[in-house]
Structure 1
Amino acid sequence: MAGLLRAVVPAESDTPLTRLSGGPGGPGALTPMLRTVLGALAEGAERRGGPLPAGSPAQLAADVARVFAEADGDGALHKLTDVLAYGSADPADPSCAAHLHCPPLAVAVAADLAVSALNPSQDSWDQAPAATALETLLLQELAQLVGYDPNEAAGVLTSGGTESNLMGLMLARDRVIGQDSGRQIELSGLPGTGRRARIFTSEAAHFSVQRSAALLGLGEDAVVPVPVDDQLRMRPDALATALRDCVRRGELPLAVVATAGTTDTGAIDPLRTCASLSAEYGAWLHVDAAYGGGALLSEQLAPLMAGVALADSVSLDWHKLGWQPVAAGIFLVKRAETYASLARRAVYLNPQDDEEAGYPSLLGLSLRTTRRTDAFKIAVTLRTLGRDGLGRLVDACHALARSGTEAVRAHPNLELHADPVLTAFLFRYLPESPRNIDPERVDRINAGLRRRLLREGRAVVGRTELPGEGPGRVRLKLTLLNPHATPAEVERLLDAVVAAGRAEEEL
């Protein structure tokens, strides 16, 4: 704590170090500091010289600790920004392709600066007058993009898919268990007796489904993993069987969580079938489209999302296939009345008489109170590029992934798992030496080559495992979200993977 408080701040109330970012003088106060930040970003990136810094985590931590200890006063901004840029994994580098970690558009970052400077909070109109209206308009437009009636839908900006999935399952819990038990679940809690509630989702779904079940008092064991096909999509026959068995056991089908764009392969579950089965068994259908929702921007890929409009709720993440700074999550429900259990009244934020007088409140739409205006950067991006412009970026990344899979197919030391659905694909390095063909050894080489690339600062490649048991399931992953990267750059990345694999074979 002493180190944090050591910086010297002049006693005068109006110095360059204590001026505020808002008000008429705010832009003037920001201008020299922005020059400092931009200069330090450039210096740090040049010093890094690649997709991430070379060296071990311990070495980087020591560098950061040293700079943190040395940073003081008006030099702190430059020094700490420089070390942040140096020590970052840069998703704009074509060799940084492991995660759903997009390089944000410059226009979105510039828009985000305006929000940071003005610091509106979305929990009451009098903290965010224009932003309240803007978020409402944006959500209506995004509801239309999904296929909802904007006059009947409702939604909110979230921190991402995890929060959105939690909200969808919370509303499902309150509505389905509430109807089954005759209780108002958000007030009285889960009934101590009655049918055990079950949530159905694919074996390849995001871990936040289990986490949400735990947070909602249902328990992770309430989640029934449904088998997937060889493309890692939920099998309709397996879902039908699981729902039928649930009812036969006297349990309550609470929700089906269909994934539209798994984190590993971008697989999209059969949404229409999921909707039909959910309706047949009285279950809420939530579609986790945090990744695949970006396909809605593309005329070419939008048909993959057919059936999403049948869902009771949907999650989208524009900080994945939307090129926004974190956070840019969106949660939507098809019918606004299903939001009822989230409604809240706080007399200091949204008193009844204010709302009756025409001052709207978004408080009852979110799990959070203080909430940043993340809608603004999305709105600016949409108005700047339009759906067509963003769709071309989606198509460019999809084409890049297809080119990358062809390069994998053509290389004797690489094995492709499947063609890309969106912009990601799985593959692995196949050892050259016969002594290394044991499945456990192949797994160790693939895991080791990824860490070698990280240690050398040459590439950020993903690692995952296929569903199942036993060795031989480790796969490498490229998630291509840079629309300006080229096929040649992806081929160079794959060459780096092969070179690292060969080095690992020699150990």
Structure 2
Amino acid sequence: MRSHLLNDATAEHYRRSVTEGVERVANRLATTRRPFTGVTPDELAPVVSAVDLDQPLGDASAALDELETVYLRDAVYFHHPRYLGHLNCPVVIPAVLGEAVLSAVNSSLDTWDQSAGGTLIERRLIDWTSQRIGFGPAADGVFTSGGTQSNLQALLLAREEAKTSDLAKLRIFTSECSHFSVQKSAKLLGLGPDAVVSIPADRNKRMQTVTLAAELARCADEGLTPMAVVATAGTTDFGSIDPLPEIAELAEQYGTWMHVDAAYGCGLLASLTRRHLLDGIERADSVTMDYHKSFFQPVSSSAILVRDGATLRHATYHADYLNPRQTLEVGEPPVPEGLRGSIPNQVDKSLQTTRRFDALKLWMTLRVMGADGVGQLFDEVCDLAAAGWEMLAADPRYDVVVQPQLSTLVYRYIPEALTSPTLIDRANLHARKALFASGEAVVAGTKVDGRQYLKFTLLNPETTTEDIAAVLELIAGHAEQYLGENLVHAS
């Protein structure tokens, strides 16, 4: 079994196995004609369950043959131009190269003696991102597993910085369109059921700052503590960006922590044409970044950035085997000259201990493509969304909710002369399900004011307006078929 360990003696085995795996995936990417096969759970589950995990195949080629059946053949392929579903992106090749390197070397980014150069690369990328945000020299941060963890850590810091130890009095203010992880974080942090105050959004799905101001004033009048205001730079459903400068003014006025969830909109930091949409983000106390969305990185690649690095101390716990305090006990030998000073242990800043070297993917991307290359890709999908909005707005069969700031379109099919909202809801839901079952395209769904809508999340620069038009025709066809059948039965 030692022949399967990655070491100097198995280097050739590693080379052959990885090369064959790359060839299989490359072939699948080159030949996939639909984003999905349409396989159902009932069809695929017995195939997976039939695999006897206690009987190894003993051979990488045989395992890859099996993987074709249980995974590769039926995977949902985000690189396909008609995958228009969730916030999943096709990935850039330099990042995939970085993924291969980091997985093989297997550094753990918690301490210097497990990662060395990896620690410095991650810190350099944190500095680079902080500069792009507009933070000063005191800024710091750490990579995380995703936006949910980043938001949790930001609110942990906000809780610890709040001027009260009475958790029942703490309040978090956020838009009704913000990510569910805000509510989830409040629960995990031991806050009460009333801790999160939902602020209504305007017609463009941006936080109403007039209402925010009124709620902050009410909080103060009732003797409660405004712990944090969470602004969203790219809501999951609409891609809308809250008015950051106005929110920053209110946060400063009430002495409350301002967090910006830019998990989606962080790509604007590299944009060649839209950077101004993030004006005001530099005034935040913390920012969430999901590079695995609008920086086209493989999952996972996220970070939490803070304007004042000292606040990260709230995540620090000392363990002698990891990050001992650098004190010299009586009788210990002196520290060699080259090891004096602070040891850069990233575990001091993180909620995680063992942690992948995900920063390497972004490092390779920037070193090969540059920030402008990433920004150009994100600008392309935002331009595509603008063109898609014009298409939907001009089509009487569809109702489109808001003109996009980023790359999301929320809309629904409304047939002529049909006035039953319930039947329209069912037709849109059926169209989405039928489209997914066909495998021809993948779209997402959501609700707006209680009604069923469909959603394009455009993160593939290879998608065209022709693809959008074709998918809209498919949706209309499925919806019309459903309505035809059900209207006949109803009559």
TM-score (norm 2): 0.91
The residue correspondences of 1:33-432 to structure 2 (distance < 5 A) are 33-42=17-26, 49-66=33-50, 72-74=57-59, 75-149=62-136, 151-176=137-162, 179-181=163-165, 191=166, 196-353=169-326, 356-432=340-416
> In structure 2, how many angstroms separate the alpha carbons of the residues matched to 1:65 and 1:47?
27
User: C-alpha displacement at 1:227, in angstroms?
Assistant: 0.6
Identify the residue that residue 185 of structure 1 maps to in structure 2. none
The answer on 1:461 being equivalent to 2:443 is yes
3-state SS in 2 of match to 1:493: helix
Equivalent residue, structure 2, for 1:475: 453
What is the CA-CA distance between 1:334 and the residue it aligns to? Answer: 0.1
Secondary structure, aligned partner of 1:73: coil
Instruction: Indicate the SS of the match to 2:213.
Output: helix
- Supply the AA of the counterpart residue of 1:481: L
Letter of the structure 1 residue corresponding to residue 76 of structure 2: A
Residue type of the partner of 2:200? P
User: Which deviates further from its counterpart, 337-346 or 78-87?
Assistant: 78-87
Structure 2 unaligned spans of 5+:
327-334, 486-491
TM-score (norm 1): 0.89
* Partner AA of 2:403 in structure 1: D
In structure 2, what residue type is equivalent to 1:143?
S
Cα distance in structure 2, aligned partners of 1:62 and 1:456: 21
What is the Cα deviation at residue 442 of structure 1? 0.7
* Partners of 2:52 and 2:27 in 1: CA distance: 17
The amino acid of 2:133's aligned partner reads: V
Distance 1:46 1:131 in 2: 33
- Kindly provide the amino acid, as one letter, of the partner of residue 283 in structure 1: T
Identity of aligned residues (%): 39
Distance 2:36 2:193 in 1: 36
1:62, distance to aligned residue in structure 2 (A): 2.8
CA contact (8 A) 1:67 1:83 kept: no
- Give me the whole-angstrom Cα distance separating, in 1, the residues matched to 2:299 and 2:108: 17
For the residues of structure 1 that align with 2:315 and 2:343, how far apart are their CA atoms?
19
Residue identity in the other structure for 1:218: L
CA deviation after TM superposition for structure 1 residue 358, in Å = 4.7
Instruction: Give the Å deviation of 1:357.
Output: 4.6
| Aligned-partner Cα distance in 1 for 2:150–2:291 | 13
Question: The residue matched to 1:225 in structure 2 has which SS?
Answer: strand
SS in 2 for 1:316: strand
Alignment-mate amino acid for residue 478 of structure 1: F
Indicate conservation of the 8 Å contact 2:44/2:70, yes or no. Answer: no
- Other structure's SS at 2:372 match: helix
Aligned equivalents of 2:406, 2:117: Cα separation in 1 = 35
Q: Distance in 2 between matches of 1:329 and 1:274?
A: 24
Measure the CA separation in 1 of the matches of 2:18 and 2:69.
13
Q: Counterpart in 2 of 1:444?
A: 426
CA contact (8 A) 2:272 2:376 kept: no
SS in structure 1 of the partner of residue 467 of structure 2: helix
Q: Any idea what the Cα deviations from partners look like across 1:234-288, whole Å, max 9, x if unmatched? A: 0010100111111111111110000000001110001111111111111100000
SS in 2 for 1:320: helix
Distance in 2, Cα, partners of 1:40 & 1:132: 33
Q: 1:186 matched to which residue of 2?
A: none
For 1:295-340, what per-residue CA distance to the aligned partner results, in whole angstroms no more than 9, with x for missing partners?
1111311100000000000001010111000011110000111122
Once the 2 structures are TM-superposed, how far is the Cα of residue 402 of structure 1 from its aligned partner? 1.3
Alpha-carbon RMSD: 2.0
Compute the displacement of 1:391 (Å): 1.1
Is there any run of 5+ residues in structure 1 with no aligned partner, and where? 1-8, 182-190
Q: Deviations over 1:42-100 (max 9, x none)?
A: 56567864111213222122333345679722112332155322221111111111110
Q: Which residue among 472, 479, 484 is the counterpart of 1:494?
A: 472
Give per-residue Cα distances to partners, 1:421-476, cap 9 Å, x unaligned: 111111111124x4x4311111111111101111111211010011x4x5xx2211
**Kindly tell me: are residues 465 and 71 of structure 1, through their superposed partners in 2, closer, same or farther at Cα, counting changes over 3 Å?**
farther
Q: Structure 2 CA distance, aligned partners of 1:92 and 1:221?
A: 42
Q: CA deviation at 1:352?
A: 2.4
Number of aligned residue pairs: 471
TM-superposition CA deviations, 1:199-250 (whole Å, max 9, x none): 0000000000000000000034200000110111000101001111111111
> Does structure 2 retain, via aligned residues, the 8 Å contact 1:154–1:334?
yes
The answer as to whether partners of 1:287 and 1:313 remain within 8 angstroms in 2 is: yes
Contact 1:41 1:81 in 2 (8 A): no
Mapped contact 1:211–1:220 kept (Cα < 8 A): no
